[in-house]
Chains A and B, each alone.
Chain A
C-alpha cells in the first residue's frame, strides 16, 4: 500500500502552447490519492488540453508530471495506461456491434487466440462489476445499451486495464439526471475503494455534488484550488469567469400575441424508419418562448429537422404566420426560411457551419440566394463582408475577422456566428436547439439575452434544450418530450423535480 499522503498525480509548472496560443500556462495541480477531484472551467479554458497531456495525447512544452510521487513522462496513451491512468472520453470509444466483454478486452486480448483471454476477462469483469457495484451483462451488445450503461463499459474498460486514476471528460453531457446520479454513486464507490477520480466539467452543480476538491481553470491558467466543502457555486462561478455571473435571466413582461407557429399531429420517422416523433401538437405565440425539455434522443432532433424543412415528416401540418403547410409534403429548408422561420441547429459543427469556410461565407449559409448578396451572376463579396463585419461588431465575435475559417473560432464565437445569421434576417419564428452547448459562460449570458430580445420584439421562439436550467429560466411555457411523445406541459414556474420526473417518463402512465 502506497503512502496515502503522496498525491496520485502532481503537475508542476506544466505549459503547452499551440503556435502563438498558450493553452496551458505554468499549471500546478495536486490530486490526492483516493479522492474525487473536479476541474472546472469555461470551454477553451484549457481543461481538455491538460487532461490530454496527462493521458499522453499531447506533450507538455515544459513542466514536470509526477505519478505516485515519482517524476515521469507520458509519451503516449499506452504509457498512460501502463502507469495506471485511464480515461473516459466525452465521446465513447466503443465498437457498437461488439458485446460488452469484447469491448472491454479490445486491445488487451492477451494472446493470439481469444478463448483463454475471454475466460479470464469474463472472470475479471465480473469481479470488477461486483467490487464497484457496476452490474452489467457481459454479453449484451454495446450498441443496444442505453448511454448510461455504455459509459459504464468505458469505465470498466479503464479499470480492466488497471487504472488507479480515472479521468472523466464531461461525463454527464449525454446522461439523464437519474443516470448522472447513478454515475456519481459509482464514482463515490470507486473513491472509497481507493481509486482516484478526475472529473472535468463545466457544470457547477456536479462539482458541488460529488467532488472532494476542485481546481478552477481560466484562460489556460489554474486560478484556484479549493476543498469543495469550503467553497460555493457563486465563488466557483466567479473564479471561472473572473467576474460575477448573472445566472438569472432578466425576463420582462411581454404581451403575448397571436400564434405564429402551430404544429398539428406531427409524426416523424428517422432514416431507419423508426417513429421518433409521435403525434406532437403545440403552438407558439408572438412574444413567447416555448421550451421543449427532455433528455437528448427523445425525438427533439427529429422534431427540429422536420419543422425546419430538412427532413420530411410522415404526417402533420404546420401553420407558419397564418399559412398552412403539409409537413409530409415536399419542403426544403430554403422554403421555410422564405416563410419567415429561421433555425439555429442543435449541432453547429454538423449543420450550422461549414468548418472550412471563412467566417463571411458562413454568415450567408442558407441566405446565399438573397438578392442583397448577389451582383448579377456572382456573389457580391464586398456586400457580404461588409455585413459580416457589422455583425461581428454587433455580436462581439472574436477574433473580429471575416477571413478566418469557422473551425478556428471558439465554441461560443461559432455559436454567435450562427445566431447572428439566424436572428439578423428578422424571422417571425426562431427555432433554436441547444443554444449554449459547448459555449462559455460569458457567451451563454449573451445568447440568453438575444433570445429574450427576440421575445420582446414579439417573435415566437421554440427552444429545445437538454439544460433544464436554461429551459426554466428562458421559457414562458415548457413541454416535455419523452420517447417521441409530449408527456406534459408546465408553466415557467415548474420545479426541477416535476420536470425531471416527466423527462424520465415516470408520469407517462399516470398522464395517459
Chain B
C-alpha cells in the first residue's frame, strides 16, 4: 500500500463512522447546553426509529426517498457533475407520476399503472434535468447554479399548477384529487401482515428503490456507458482523448440523474399520499447530496446512509415528541450537524487517519 492510500474498510467504514461520531458528540453537547440528558435523547432517537414496527416503517419510508435522491446525486457525481437540482427534479417527477395516476387509476389495476407511473416520473424528472444539462454541455452555464435555479422554478411552477390547474373544483387545498385504487401502491402493512408496521406509509416503492440500486450499480461499473461516465468524471481530458463526447456524457448522465430523482414521487405521491400535493419533496433532494457523499457514490453506501437519515428523520420526530424541550428545530440542527460532518467536513479526519495508517503500515513492513 502506498502513501496516502487507505484500506477500503477504513475509507468506506471507519471514516464515515468517525464523522458520524463527531456529529453526535457535538449534537450531544448541544443537548447538554439546553439542559437535557444526551443519552436519554439518543435512547429516544434510536427507539423512535427502530424500537417498534411503526417506527421501523417510517424509517424505511424516509430512507426510500433518500435512496432515490442519493442515487441521483451519485450518478451525476460519477461524471463530475454536481446536481443540486434533485429537489426540483423529484418535484416535477411527482407531477409526471400524478398525471399517469390521474389518467389511468379508474381503468386499470395498480400493477399496470405502476410501470407507467415509473416511466412518467423518470421522464418528467429527466426532462427537468435536461435543460441545465444542455446549458452546461453546450453553453458552459455552471450546472450547480442552473440546477439550484431550476429548483425555484419547479417550486413556482407546481404552486401554479396545483392551485390553478390540478386542484379539484370546490376544494381549498392545493393538491390533486386522491387517486383511486388503480393509482395506489400497496402499503407494506397490507402486504406483510405478519409484521406490525402500524400506520406507517412504507410501501412497495422501497423495493423499487433497492432494485434501482442494483440497476445503478450495473450501469456505473459494468456497462460501456458507465465506463464513459466514470472516465469523463475522473479525467475529462482522457475522456476526450478516448473519443468520449463531453456533451453526450453530460446530457445522458443528467437525464439519468434527473430520472432517478423523479422516481422519488413513486414513494410519496403514489405510495403515501395517493395524490400530488404542495412541497411533497420536503428537502429530500438536498438530503440526497449528503447521502451520496456519505455513501461514497456507491449504491450500498447510499442504502446505509439513507437508512441513517431515515433514522434521524423518524427518530427525531419521536424525540421531539418525548422530550418537548428538544424541539423539532433541534432535530434539524442534529441533522444539519450530520450533514456537515459527513458531507462538508468529510475529509476532516482523513489526514490524521492516513498518518496513523502510514505509521502503522511502515512499522509492520520493518517488523
Contacts and interface: CB of A to CB of B under 8 A. Distances in A.
Contacts of A356: 234
Nearest to A16: B362
Contacts of A20: 1, 361, 365
Contacts of B240: 310, 332-333
B237 A350 contact: yes
Contacts of A334: 242-244
A345 B241 contact: yes
Interface in A333-391: 333-337, 343, 345, 350-357, 361, 364-366, 368-369, 374, 377-379, 381
A366 B242 contact: yes
Contacts of B222: 378-379, 381
A374 B226 CA distance: 13
B224 A17 contact: no
Interface string B314-335: 0000000000000000000000
Interface string A311-335: 0000000000000000000001111
A19 B365 contact: yes
Interface in A294-319: 308-310
Interface residues of B, number: 26
B2 interface: yes
A144 to B, nearest CB: 25
B2 A19 contact: yes
A492 B228 CA distance: 41
A309 B241 CA distance: 8
Given A354-B231, A354-B238, A333 B243 contact: yes
Interface in A259-306: none
A61 interface: yes
B19 to A, nearest CB: 22
Interface centre among A19, A308, A374 (most CB of B within 10 A): A19
A342 to B, nearest CB: 11
B217 to A, nearest CB: 12
Given A337-B243, A368-B228, 18 more contacts: A17-B365, A19-B361, A308-B241, A310-B241, A333-B241, A336-B243, A350-B238, A354-B230, A354-B234, A356-B234, A361-B227, A365-B238, A368-B224, A368-B227, A374-B224, A377-B223, A378-B222, A379-B224
Interface of B: 1-3, 218, 222-224, 227-228, 230-231, 234-235, 237-238, 240-245, 358, 361-362, 365-366
Interface of A: 17-21, 61, 308-310, 332-337, 343, 345, 350-357, 361, 364-366, 368-369, 374, 377-379, 381, 408
26 contacts: A18-B358, A19-B358, A19-B362, A19-B365, A20-B1, A20-B361, A308-B241, A310-B240, A332-B245, A334-B242, A334-B243, A336-B243, A351-B237, A354-B234, A354-B238, A355-B235, A361-B227, A365-B231, A366-B242, A368-B227, A368-B242, A369-B224, A377-B223, A378-B222, A379-B223, A379-B224
